[in-house]
Amino acid sequence: MPKIVLGVCGSIAAYRAADLARDLMRAGCEVRVCLTDSAQKFVTPILFETLTGNPCLIDTFDEPERGRMAHLDWARQADLLLIAPASANTINKLANGIGEDMLTTIALAFEGPMMLAPAMNPAMYQHPETQASLNNLVEHGATLIEPTEGDVVAGESGQGKLAGNAEIVGTALALLNRSNLLAGKRVLITSGPTQEPIDSVRFLSNRSSGKMGSALAQAALLMGAEVKVIAGPSMAIYPRNAHVIEVRTAEEMHKAALAELSSCDLAIGAAAVADYRPSNPQEGKIRRSDDAISLDLVPNPDIIAELAKSGKRTVGFAAEPSTDLTVAIAKIQRKGLYAIAHNDVSNRGIGFESDKNQITLIRADGVQETSPLASKLLVALWLLERIAE
């Protein structure tokens, strides 16, 4: 039975942790709860002890079993550390390695996957320190379940509501049930957009956020892989355990991908590579005039097709403006891919820029399967399970 330590912080949303503990138990997990001091202003240990049948930890020096050093004991036994709701205060402490209460001390001693589901006032969430801490924790491998937008307390509205239990539980289960199919494998991922210079200050690009590539990197690491990412310019945060090679243009991405190809077992092309680039980017700035100008575009290298040519298992992404799979299927043959993930980017709720995705995986042998509509991390885990075998 997978063991979860559920950390609860001082937030109005602390009451939701009771249901969360129940939902996780219903899903077959053993749950142990650690409350911060402030959490006790909102909920009581007896609530969680009664629900879970396990003692609840609060103070760093609590010792339900004498001599076992509970912070180390719980950290060693847990398969997952889930902090929900995670307060701004605890997030900022975690990012700075501070262990001044039981929860942050367990987090320091814990070596497995950590999930954070923040809940707070939108200004606290957007505070530069909170955002920097979250980025830092994600870079170190934490899984962030972003708060949702809506009405929060005190008549305000914005991003700060604790995510739904279904999303938190679904992600926890996916992390707990992840396979280690990629243990010992080296995975190469291209991610994000490319920028094709028009002159020294302008470029052609696209709406790719790099979030799917980042989720694939995180998922591959969780499944035991060694990960290299060739990343086009974006705000995406990549895990620190991945080796990230930053590039700007399709030609740079092409060169980097070919250089890394020999040292990979599986290549995934999640980048939205520009098909064309201006043939003659201008030095300096093209000046405004009343005359029409035209751009001469030349084709960029087909990176994914070249990766596939090597014989390495290669999986592409097809961002298509509809649910029609015809173009994606044709690409499998034309480019020699093992499989392709069709992404309907006409649906604003998934794909480009969104935190969620849904893909249809089509393999060269004709097998098709559609993923659930879920966070990009869950979709990445779903995809890797299917292409790693």
Ligand X SMILES: Cc1cc2nc3c(=O)[nH]c(=O)nc-3n(C[C@H](O)[C@H](O)[C@H](O)COP(=O)(O)O)c2cc1C
**Interface residue list for ligand X (CB under 6 A):** 9-13, 36-39, 87-90, 119-120, 124
Choose between 67 and 97: whose C-beta lies nearer to ligand X: 97
In DSSP terms, 360 is beta-bridged to 342, 370
Amino acid at 211: K
Q: Which are the contacts of 171, defined by CB distance < 8 A and separation ≥ 6?
A: 115, 143, 145, 375, 377, 378
Q: Which three-class secondary structure string do you get for 166-215?
A: HHHHHHHHHHHCCCCCCCCCEEEEEECECCEECCCCCEECCCCCCHHHHH
| Shortest Å, Cβ 166 to ligand X | 20
Q: How far is the CB of 37 from ligand X (least distance, A)?
A: 6
CB nearer to ligand X: pick between 39 and 273: 39
> Of the two residues 39 and 168, which places its CB atom closer to ligand X in the complex?
39
Which residues are paired to 272 by β-bridges? Answer: 193
Report, in Å, the least distance between residue 136 CB and ligand X.
Answer: 17
**Alpha-helical segments (H) within the chain:** 16-26, 45-52, 70-77, 88-95, 102-109, 122-126, 128-139, 165-176, 211-222, 250-261, 303-309, 326-335, 376-388
SS3 387: helix
Which residues does residue 7 pair with via DSSP β-bridges, in sequence order?
Answer: 34, 83
**Residue 121 bears catalytic tag:** no
Which of residues 32 and 93 has its CB atom nearest to ligand X in the complex? 93
Distance CA 144, CA 128 (A): 16
User: What are the two backbone dihedrals, phi and then psi, of residue 312, each rounded to the nearest 5 degrees?
Assistant: -70, 150
Per annotation, catalytic residue among 136, 177, 206, 343: 206
**CB of 124 vs ligand X, minimal distance in Å:** 6
What's the closest the beta carbon of residue 170 comes to ligand X, in angstroms? 22
Of 10 and 210, which has the nearer Cβ to ligand X? Answer: 10
What is the pairing mode between strands 196-197 and 203-204? antiparallel
- Could you tell me the two tokens for 264? 């990979």
Q: How far is the CB of 112 from ligand X (least distance, A)?
A: 21
Helix (H, G, I), strand (E, B) or coil at 231: strand
> By C-beta, is 59 or 353 nearer to ligand X?
59
- Catalytically annotated residues: 206
